[in-house]
Chain A
């Protein structure tokens, strides 16, 4: 199976390479040179070797020796090229950005109200009220944000080389350029990542191997069985001049237990004892772990506990996915996707639900319903991700008609 995955990956990359090549590969210079009989540059380079390369290499080595000796002979303030400057950031006392101070790497930031951070590369962070975080490892490519608790909004500028990470308990979020919100509840060991744009890679705890979350997606994971130490602000962090590191940033009682986990392992709560949000988290966790029946139980409980709500409709969609992807129960999947469409005809998942319903009907062998869904899909989403399938289904049925 591993080899099949690599084969398929190679083929997919090959298709993408074709599109890049089609747009970029030039042959005009090679054509002119060949037609006119110009000597090959490739060959000119070949004729240099090995003697010219050897001479060049010798000169290079000699130059390197001279350079090393020269560098050693210079003092600390000599003319060595300066390393790239690390990013800087400022912290505003409120969202009006009126009063700003320079941020300090490693300092504990405790948001007594919304706390905006602005970085010199254009990246913006916003700590929601009561969130606690530190910005560390700041270099010219990015920084590491340790979210100790609460909610963080991030808008990371994509530069091609940007390197940002958000640590939240046992989880690590690898970011290149994107907009997202991450909420971390250390007492429940629960993380919630919502992507507005781009994608991030979430790893750690139950997300092993790492999982990608893309624009428009949310990830809720609870890591109840692998407790980690509660973040412990140190005395140095409280003495920094951050605008909010005042009374609320005083080390708590947990600050003394710097090396001992303070959370005892606890079994996941039973379905009837937890909130609807927690049920979604449980369902996600169970689904990622392959425990499909547990995921289904949690989602059904959402529908029982919060009928008529957005979450109930989302649970219907997720139940459709479980039936489709997990069990191959296509009639059941179509039923759940249609349930979502019935409850949220204009919902954010409506396009996907309609496409999935069409695909499920097709796989279930119900050509008439599949055709009907295909026509509806094409009318509403002519360039949607299921459009190709919809065209095929609609066209096939048309052709079959007497």
Chain B
């Protein structure tokens, strides 16, 4: 059987490939969306070793439900919604069994691919996020770490815009209160406060 040509597929074409069971359809589907969905999963879960299992599950669920997708052009936002729900399920499951993890760190630190300060800050940030309820954590991660618009978040979470705003407001308050207790985040907060104070982006050093 001739392999599918290497090209950019539209959402509608990918849906057609999956629904007709074309052998290479899965690979096309995965390659098309994996970078974005993987990034989303990382933003929500942090650098978790099980993130790749979650990613796999998202695509499996999407494949199982592809026939329920009414508008093929919305494949991207549809799978983002599945990603959010699957990630939330994982977070809640982990929260239920957190007591089984008391002998290990809550968050596996990113390997030192970046400098120590960044690694420590990310570890601290996800420790803070780990203390928040799943809905607030997801809202915070999607908005600030993933950079999604409020409307996109509402769509992905399957909730209203006002609910997203409320969760985001609560998440910011909780994050702010807890972040200051982490030494690794203090210099980052100071930098942002200095920028907010001077109203500018600045690469400056002190003497």
Contact = CB atoms under 8 A, between A and B. Distances in A.
A-B complex is real: yes
A12 B207 contact: no
A18 B31 CA distance: 18
A10 interface: yes
B50 interface: yes
Interface string A17-41: 1111101111101110111010011
B190 A42 contact: no
Contacts of B97: 53
A317 B144 CA distance: 36
Given A35-B30, A216-B205, A42 B172 contact: no
A21 B39 contact: yes
Contact of B30 (A4, A31, A211, A317): A31
A180 to B, nearest CB: 14
A10 B204 contact: no
B189 A9 contact: yes
A24 B110 contact: yes
A139 interface: no
B147 A5 contact: no
A25 B38 contact: yes
Nearest to A321: B204
Contacts, number: 186
Contacts of B145: 10-11, 13-14, 17
A199 B117 contact: yes
A6 B204 contact: no
A51 interface: no
Interface residues of A, number: 72
A176 B115 CA distance: 14
A236 to B, nearest CB: 32
Contacts of B95: none
B110 to A, nearest CB: 4
Nearest to A8: B192
Given A24-B110, A318-B207, A386-B203, A29 B52 contact: yes
Contacts of A30: 30, 34, 52-53, 55-56, 59
A26 B192 CA distance: 31
Interface string B56-91: 110110010000000000000000000000100010
Given A13-B122, A174-B183, A6 B57 contact: no
Nearest to B59: A34
9 nearest CB pairs, A to B? A10-B144, A385-B203, A42-B57, A14-B145, A23-B113, A30-B56, A212-B187, A20-B110, A41-B53
Interface of B: 26-27, 30-31, 34-35, 38-39, 42-43, 47, 50-57, 59-60, 63, 86, 90, 93, 97, 100, 110-111, 113-114, 116-122, 125, 140, 143-147, 169, 172-173, 175-176, 179-180, 183, 185-196, 198, 202-207
Given A17-B122, A20-B114, 9 more contacts: A9-B185, A20-B122, A25-B51, A34-B59, A42-B53, A42-B54, A210-B183, A314-B207, A328-B198
20 contacts: A5-B189, A5-B193, A6-B176, A9-B144, A10-B143, A11-B144, A11-B145, A17-B43, A18-B39, A23-B113, A23-B114, A34-B30, A41-B53, A42-B53, A49-B93, A158-B116, A199-B187, A201-B187, A209-B180, A325-B194
